[in-house]
Amino acid sequence: MSSSNQLAARQQWLLESILQGPQASQMASEFIVGSAQMSAAARLAIYQNGYRLRLLECMAAEFPALQHYLGEPLFRLFSLGYLQQQPSRHYSLYQLGEGFADFLAATRPSEKSVQPQWAAGLKIPEQLARFERARANALRAAGAQPHSTPELGCLFHFPALALPQSSTLVEHDFALHDYVLAADRHALALEQGLSFEKPAMPAAQPESLLVYRHQFRVKVVKLEAWQADVLRVLSATTHRAQKGKAMQADWQTLLEHNRLAESELLMKLNLWLPQALKENQLTLAE
């Protein structure tokens, strides 16, 4: 093997060893020279630990409210377990936390394995992770293209409305919106050396939120039940023709589920949709 090929092979081994963690240290002595003071595996561990600390910093930066809720030791434990199962494979660390909420859901203990008073809160970590991931997505994803607001008559022929990539419907079993805002204020106060009361535990209260970006700022709005129903329909369909048909097909369901007269729902849509389009919560589908 030529010297250039040997170098490439060793670089590839080092990369894989850093990504895989301690289980890759068994072959360290074949590539790294150890000493009496520090073994080959210990020298490799310097790079492995440094890499993982950087990834943990990224996870903490993306999920600050979740880290506040769990506490740093437990958050690090969950994060390391996640990184072990799903090591970073993308050039951008923005992708790092994409599957964290699903990991927390998949590893959540069964409700039968804990005392009844704790069972309800088992879903809080994964739901917090989905909320915070939606905020990160709103900041980075492609937003809605500028367009003129359609006329009201056009709206109620159900044009193909859609959620832009920067808008995410997030639904919880707990009042996480106020908790995350309080956690943000608490973290900011600590950075400034100020005392600030820790946020109270989130109450068991179903909540639907729309996380979106408008004028370069990430915003969150609480939704009424009928608004969440409309966005759920739009999220479930992908093509322009499907969106209009889906809205028409689910129109009666919307009325019945929300116990609204047709005229009342039309009035609500009249007030909401133009503003939602103006603020880039929604967009006209292509």
User: Model confidence over 220-275: pLDDT tens digits?
Assistant: 999 999 999 989 888 776 555 555 555 566 777 888 888 888 889 888 988 898 89
Each residue of 70-79: pLDDT tens digit? Answer: 999 999 999 9
Domain range for 45 is 1-62
- When divided into structural domains, the chain yields a total of 2
**Which residues, in sequence order, are CB contacts of 81 under 8 Å at separation 6+?**
103, 107
Question: pLDDT at position 155, please?
Answer: 46
| pLDDT category of residue 154 using cuts at 50, 70 and 90 | very low
Question: pLDDT at position 152, please?
Answer: 46
> Does the pLDDT of residue 153 top 50, yes or no?
no
> Does the pLDDT of residue 133 top 80, yes or no?
yes
Q: How many CB atoms lie within 10 A of CB 220?
A: 17
> Does the pLDDT of residue 117 top 60, yes or no?
yes
At 222, which helix (H) or strand (E)?
Answer: strand 217-222
More confident residue, 55 or 18: 55
Q: Is residue 79 part of a domain?
A: no
Q: Is residue 68 part of a domain?
A: no
Residues 55 and 166 in one domain: no
- What integer is the mean pLDDT of 187-214? 88
> Does the pLDDT of residue 202 top 80, yes or no?
yes
Percent composition of the chain: helix, strand, coil (DSSP 3-state, to 5): 60, 10, 30
DSSP label of 101: H
Question: pLDDT at position 211, please?
Answer: 97
**Which residues, in sequence order, are CB contacts of 48 under 8 Å at separation 6+?**
17, 18, 21, 22, 24, 25
Q: Report CA 130 to chain centroid distance, whole Å.
A: 4
| pLDDT category of residue 111 using cuts at 50, 70 and 90 | confident
Q: Is residue 76 part of a domain?
A: no
Strand ranges (DSSP E) for 103-193? Answer: 161-162, 168-172
Residues 109 and 210 in one domain: yes
- The CA distance from 207 to 98, in Å, is 22
Average pLDDT for the chain: 83
Amino acid at 176: L
Question: pLDDT at position 159, please?
Answer: 56
Angle (nearest 5°) at CA 18 between 97 and 75 = 35
- What integer is the mean pLDDT of 117-132? 90
DSSP string, 246-273: HHHHTHHHHHHHHT--HHHHHHHHHHHH
Residues 122 and 55 in one domain: no
Residues 128 and 163 in one domain: yes
Q: Is residue 67 part of a domain?
A: no
More confident residue, 241 or 218: 218
Residues 277 and 210 in one domain: yes
- The CA distance from 104 to 131, in Å, is 13
Q: Using an 8 Å Cβ cutoff, are 128 and 69 in contact?
A: yes
More confident residue, 67 or 161: 67
Q: Is residue 48 part of a domain?
A: yes
More confident residue, 116 or 85: 85
Residues 116 and 230 in one domain: yes
Residues 200 and 278 in one domain: yes
Question: pLDDT at position 246, please?
Answer: 55
Judged by average pLDDT, the poorest of 2-16, 39-53, 69-83 is 2-16
**What's the start-to-end Cα distance of the chain, in Å?**
54
More confident residue, 132 or 246: 132
Residues 56 and 95 in one domain: no
More confident residue, 143 or 162: 162
Q: Report CA 219 to chain centroid distance, whole Å.
A: 14
